[in-house]
Amino acid sequence: MSYIKVDSLTKQFKSQIRRTGSMSAFKDFIAPRHELKDAVKDVSFTIDKGEIVGYIGPNGAGKSTTIKMMVGILVPTSGSVEIGGIVPYENRLANSRKIGVVFGQRTQLWWDIPVIETFKLMQYIYDIPDRQFETNIRQFADILGIDEFVNTPVRQLSLGQRMRADLCAALLHNPEIVYLDEPTIGLDVDVKERVRGFIKEINRTRETTVILTTHDTADLDKLCSRVMVIDRGSMMYDGELSYLKRNYSSHEIVTVEIESELPERMLRARFGSAVTLDGRLCHVRVDRERESSADCIAWFIHNSRVLDVKIRETDIDEVIRNMYGTFKNAERESEAEAQ
């Protein structure tokens, strides 16, 4: 049986329609006109215990609104959410014991007190037994590397330190589900890696279910085999990340570092405008429809001494744009056929 069940979930918000023309601001003030907008529209999915699911889509798509209904902050306009047998917006307290929530852009920590005191407050609020508290602190501090700043007041922490402390705080009460909204936004590469490692470890050892919102493809690659894509409130895709990437990522950037520069003429003859030169670094935009990154790298190996190679895939926002493009084309084609 599925652990999380979301069925035909819909949330409408009332928004004001702005008039134009003379005295419009005055008219809007005296007699405001409203319309209902679907922030989330007829969304259904199920998630099993222990899954890590990426929830992705452009800004304003409805991700946070969905999560707020799952957390119990918002009541759906229609449809339903059930999490481990609990309806979150009807029983917020019971639900809050089961969940941990982290928003990358906002902290839950107390600004003026040292990190460790915040953790103790969490222990008090959630009534966490001493043994569990100590075991968790020890394990989390180790994986996240937070020992060196547990006595520092939160306001003095760097963004990366703050994020690690936030993650730790959100998991002290052993939640069954964690909602992570952009947990790696703005972090350095090594901190991102630590955060990913932590999420992975918690999921592996405790079967914690993870719902992750992100724009970072590397987060998805490292953590999620399944992604759900939402746009304008509607679910566009729910399935394997690998399928999405295979079918909708149009190109890769291959960066080759060579020992000594090659004549530009020669590079242009082979790659045309797809190559960008940066001293001994050559960046080639490889169109996956036409050739493979392997062929591109093979050419460099044949023609120069290659010191290093990096391949960067299309980022997830572009994958999604390509996906919409395909849907729109399909719509246009079916409209054309109908005429």
Ligand X SMILES: Nc1ncnc2c1ncn2[C@@H]1O[C@H](COP(=O)(O)OP(=O)(O)O)[C@@H](O)[C@H]1O
CB 107, min distance to Mg ion, A? 16
Question: Residue 167 and residue 199: Cα distance in Å, rounded?
Answer: 9
CB 39, min distance to ligand X, A? 3
Q: Which of 7, 10, 12, 13 binds ligand X (CB under 6 A)?
A: 13
Nearer to ligand X, 282 or 319 (CB): 319
CB 208, min distance to Mg ion, A? 21
DSSP string, 190-233: HHHHHHHHHHHHHHHHH--EEEEE-S-HHHHHHH-SEEEEEETT
Q: Give the SS3 label for residue 50.
A: coil
- The answer to whether residue 59 forms part of the interface with ligand X (CB under 6 A) is yes
Query: Which of these ranges, 18-26, 58-66, 76-84, 252-260, lies near ligand X under the rule CB under 6 A?
Result: 58-66
- Cβ atoms of residues 217 and 56 within 8 Å: no
- The answer to whether residue 64 forms part of the interface with Mg ion (CB under 5 A) is yes
* Radius of gyration, alpha carbons of the chain: 24
Nearest alpha carbon to residue 52 among 238, 230, 224 = 224
Structure tokens at 191: 């901190």
What phi and psi values does residue 291 have, to the nearest 5 degrees? -155, 175
- Cβ atoms of residues 319 and 244 within 8 Å: yes
Query: Which of these ranges, 31-39, 61-69, 136-144, 219-227, lies near Mg ion under the rule CB under 5 A?
Result: 61-69
Question: Residue 39 and residue 212: Cα distance in Å, rounded?
Answer: 19
Question: Helices (DSSP H) in 207-272: which residue ranges?
Answer: 217-223, 241-248, 264-271
CB 180, min distance to ligand X, A? 13
Structure tokens at 248: 């909708």
Nearer to ligand X, 65 or 123 (CB): 65
Helix axis angle, 241-248 to 316-338, nearest 10°: 70
Nearer to ligand X, 109 or 228 (CB): 228
Nearer to ligand X, 63 or 196 (CB): 63
Query: Which of these ranges, 64-72, 114-122, 200-208, 322-330, lies near Mg ion under the rule CB under 5 A?
Result: 64-72
- The answer to whether residue 172 forms part of the interface with ligand X (CB under 6 A) is no
What b/e string do you get for 157-193 counting C-beta neighbours within 10 Å, with b at 16 or more?
A: beebbbbbbbbbbbbbbbbbbbbbbbbbbebeeebbe
Nearer to ligand X, 200 or 232 (CB): 232
Question: Residue 231 and residue 61: Cα distance in Å, rounded?
Answer: 5
Query: Which of these ranges, 61-69, 158-166, 202-210, 278-286, lies near ligand X under the rule CB under 6 A?
Result: 61-69
Between 21 and 60, how does the x/- string for binding to Mg ion read (CB under 5 A)? Answer: ----------------------------------------
> Position 292: which residue type?
S
Q: Which of 41, 43, 52, 62 binds ligand X (CB under 6 A)?
A: 62
Q: How many distinct helices (H) and strands (E) make up the chain?
A: 12, 13
CB 64, min distance to Mg ion, A? 3
- The answer to whether residue 39 forms part of the interface with ligand X (CB under 6 A) is yes
Nearer to ligand X, 100 or 233 (CB): 233
Question: Residue 83 and residue 127: Cα distance in Å, rounded?
Answer: 22
- The answer to whether residue 60 forms part of the interface with ligand X (CB under 6 A) is yes
Nearer to ligand X, 13 or 45 (CB): 13
Query: Which of these ranges, 63-71, 133-141, 202-210, 218-226, lies near ligand X under the rule CB under 6 A?
Result: 63-71
The residues binding Mg ion (CB under 5 A) are: 63-64
The residues binding ligand X (CB under 6 A) are: 13, 15, 39, 57, 59-65
